[in-house]
Structures are given as C-alpha cells and as structure tokens.
Structure 1
Amino acid sequence: MALNTPYGSRRGAAAYALPDERAGFIRKTYAHLAGAILAFVLLEVAIFSTPAVRDTLAGLLTQSWLLTLALFIGASWIADRWARSDASRGLQYVGLGVYVVLQALIFVPLLYIATISINDPTLVPTAGIITGALFLGLTAVVFTTGADFSFLRGAIILGSLVALGLIVASLLFGFSLGVIFSVAMVGLAAASILYSTSNVLHYYRTDQYVAASLSLFAAVALLFYYVLRILIAMRR
C-alpha cells in the first residue's frame, strides 16, 4: 500500500529487512552521519585557521546573503536528489559531500560572530553540547518507542516555507528575526530529527544510507545553527 511519504511504498524498506540487514543499514547511516559532521568540523577549522579566507568568506556571505540563500536552496535540492537517486553510489556521495560543503559555508558568518566578534570561546562548544544532547534525546524517543513520525512531514514543509518567507522578508526590508524566531526554528529542527529518524526505521531502503545520513545531517545542522543563534543573543 502506497503511503504519503517521500519513499512511496514501504515494500523493500529497512523495517521489513532481515534483522542483520536492518542493523547494518542503521550502523551505516549513523556512521555516515558521523563522517559528515566530522567533515563539516574539519572544513570550518580549515577556514578559520586562515584569517584571509575566513574574513573574505564572512564578508561575501554576509553582504550577498539573499543570493547565497538562493544558491544554497537550489544546490541543496540537487544534492538531496543525487543522494536519494538510484544512480551510482559515487553520485550519492557527491550529493552528501556538496551538502556538507554548503553547510560549512553558510555557517561561516555565524561562527565568525561567535568566535571573532564576540570572542567567546565557550559559545560554539556549548551549542555543540546542547545540540548533541537534544539529538540523542530525540533519537532515543524514536528508537525506544518505534513510533512513526511521518505525519510531521506536512507541518515541517509548511514551517520551512513560512521560515523561508520570513528570512527573505527580513533581508529585503531590513528587520531582525529575534530570539522567538530562533526558538521556533529549534522546534522545527527537533521535528525534522524525529521525522528523519522515524524514516530511518520505517521507510528508507537498506541501500539508502547515504540519503538517510544527509537527511539527518540537515536536521542536526539546522538545530545547531539556531541553538548557536540563541546563545549569541543571550551573550549580547
């Protein structure tokens, strides 16, 4: 029976695979997620270890934020399509890699504020710890209950469109999105983690661990971004 999910029928899903295959799929998914997070961290370390590159990227991305946002959305869609495709495994990895690089670039201005402008070395580690704790807690909820959170898809899409509209409006009309917006985005990211983790258990096929890891990485990156924004606002 076809379901209202991005994956169509549940036939062939990891939920119906043999226990060893299902366990292997889950291990590969979270190993790729860990690899994506590590690659993201290393990219940021490389950027911020070179002041000229760091300052140039921070300036360019801040001044042309609307164009950057448009390019990010378009390239993210392509990367996600590649990662989900039934084409070569190499193309799926390219999609994941492109998305990690894009996220690393998007984070540069925010990390610049936290580490250079405010110059508080505790902000980024604290945001990382909070993000990790929230991610582990939400993951535990899904794995211990086995609940299907696919019903969140519509709310996540609607919330994302509203958030995108507010971000574009703030850039065009020059108003600031405050802490309340960041808190709402943390809620949206939490819903995305529940949704993506549920899909790992119920809908992804056992050969889609690259796509599954990209979906989880996107939700974790969103959560980290807005947790850090909240901490920066509190520090100011």
Structure 2
Amino acid sequence: MNINTGDLVANASESERSMFYKKTYLHLGGAVLAFALIESALIYSGIAESFVHLLQGNKWSWLIVMVLFMGASYIADKWAHSPMSREMQYAGLGLFVLAEAIVFMPLIYMALKYAAPTVLPTAALMTIMLSAGLMFTAFTTKKNFSFLAPAITIGSFVALGLILGSIIFGFQLGIFFFAAMIVFSAAVILYQTSQMIHEYHSDQYVAASLGLFSSIGLMFWYMVQFLMSLTGND
C-alpha cells in the first residue's frame, strides 16, 4: 500500500496546504521538544561527560561517531520518506532526533561547562530568529530555491573534507569556518523550506519536518561554536 497519494503541496487546495503546513510545523515542534528532553537526560545523567572523555581519549572516536551519524541520518531519511508505512516514517524521524541528540552531546556539555551561561540561550534565540526569517522569505517570495541544490552539495563535500582534515591532522577550523557554515546552513533552510512548498506531497509532512529539523539543527550547531569562539571558549 502506498500512503503517499496526496497532491503536490503547490497544486493542492488551500485547505490541504494549510493542513500540511500545520502538521509539518507541529511535527517539527515535537522533534525539537524530544531533542531537548533527550539531550537534557544525556547531560544530567552523566552520559555526556563520559562520552566527552571517550572522545578526548582517541582522536578517531569522533570520526567513528560521524560515520555512524551519517549512516543513521541516511536510514532515517529513507524511513521518513517511506511510501508504505506511516509508522516507518515516524521511526525515521525518531531515529534522526536520537542520533542528533547523541552527536550534540559533547558540544552542549562543553558549552554548559566552559562557555558563558549566555551562549546556549543566545545561540538558540539567534537560530530561531534566523530560521523564522528565512522560512518567511521562502513563503512570501514563493520562489523555488531548488537552484541552490548544486551549491549545497558542493559545500557539503568541502565542509566534510575540512572537518575530516581537522580530525585527522588536528588543526582548528576557527571562527571564520563557523561563520561560513552558518551562512551555508541558512541556504539549506531556504532550500528545505522551498522543497516543502514546491516538491513535497501533502501527506509527506513527517519527511518535511525531518528536513527542516535537520537544517535548523545544523545552524544551531555552528551558531553555538561561533559564539563559543567569539567569547574565547572554543
């Protein structure tokens, strides 16, 4: 049975589009809340501290974590786009939220332990404001930002190469890299919002919410690192 039988959102009726956007953002809000709860549990249970010590003990540990996260992300995206089962779609979203929380553990722990207490709330507020502004731009202009796809693909490989190089050779990426990645993540948010408007079907709200959650998470990740570097806590 194929459950993805809805019209393209761009071609759907006004009521169908409204319901799709409502469900997408409700699922996005649920994913953010679940992420916050899981992250809090990992931090305050002591798991995050142990995880940080594990990563510090072996430079290859973070590389292994990255590979596992990329694998989990690929599987989660496939599940979230499953045309056969709504349960599989929710499993994909849940898997991605869990994987994201695990990857964020060291960063959140370090920010809480060593950075100024304003770093995390400031990063969250700035991410929310920028994301909202970018989504508003995509909705009001009604422009299809699919032309950003090649630049995002190339940028992803360049960023991945630099990150892998920093892990293997031990050099610091620095504040300019973090700033560039915030700009890059802004392009990804524009692209994901455009995809939601122009390319998704009206019953693919779970997959749409995963795409938005992923791109917003990317911006938050680099916003935290940028602010930590800016205040000398990198």
Normalization by structure 1: what TM-score? 0.92
Q: Does 1:183 align with 2:176?
A: no
Partner residue, 1:165:
161
Structure 1 counterpart of 2:95, from 91, 98, 107: 98
The 2-side partners of 1:16 and 1:137 are apart by: 25
Alpha-carbon distance between aligned partners in 2 of 1:121 and 1:91, rounded to the nearest angstrom: 39
What number of residue pairs does the alignment pair up?
A: 224
What are the residue-to-residue correspondences of 1:32-181 with 2, within 5 Å? 32-50=27-45, 52-62=46-56, 63=58, 64-118=61-115, 120-181=116-177
| Structure 2 residue runs without a partner (length 5+) | 1-5
Deviations 1:192-228 (A, max 9, x none): 1000101111110011100000000000000000010
Matches of 2:75 and 2:54 in 1, distance apart?
23
For the 8 Å contact 1:61–1:68, the answer to whether it is kept is no
1:204 match: secondary structure: coil
Once the two structures are TM-superposed, the CA of residue 79 in structure 1 deviates from its matched residue by: 0.6
Percentage identity across aligned positions?
47
What is the DSSP-based 3-state SS (H/G/I as helix, E as strand, rest coil) of the residue aligned with 1:93?
helix
Name the residue aligned to 1:5.
Answer: none
**CA distance 1:234–1:82, shift in 2 (3 Å):** same
Paired AA for residue 53 in structure 1: I
Displacement of 1:12 after TM fit? Answer: 2.8
Residue 61 of structure 1: CA displacement? 4.3
Letter in 2 for 1:117: Y
In the TM superposition, residue 169 of structure 1 has moved relative to its aligned partner by: 1.0
How much does 1:60 deviate?
Answer: 2.8
Give, in whole Å, the separation in 1 of the partners of 2:81 and 2:193: 16
Unmatched runs of 5 consecutive residues or more in structure 1: 1-10
State the 1:159 CA deviation.
0.4
Which of 10, 15, 22 in structure 2 is aligned with 1:15?
A: 10
How far apart, CA to CA, are the structure 2 residues paired with 1:61 and 1:99?
21
| Distance in 1 (alpha carbons) for counterparts of 2:49 and 2:42 | 9
| Structure 1 position 54, deviation (Å) | 2.3
Out of 185, 200, 204, the position equivalent to 1:204 is 200
Distance in 2 between residues matched to 1:229 and 1:220, nearest whole Å: 14
Is the 1:189–1:223 Cα contact (8 Å) retained in structure 2? yes
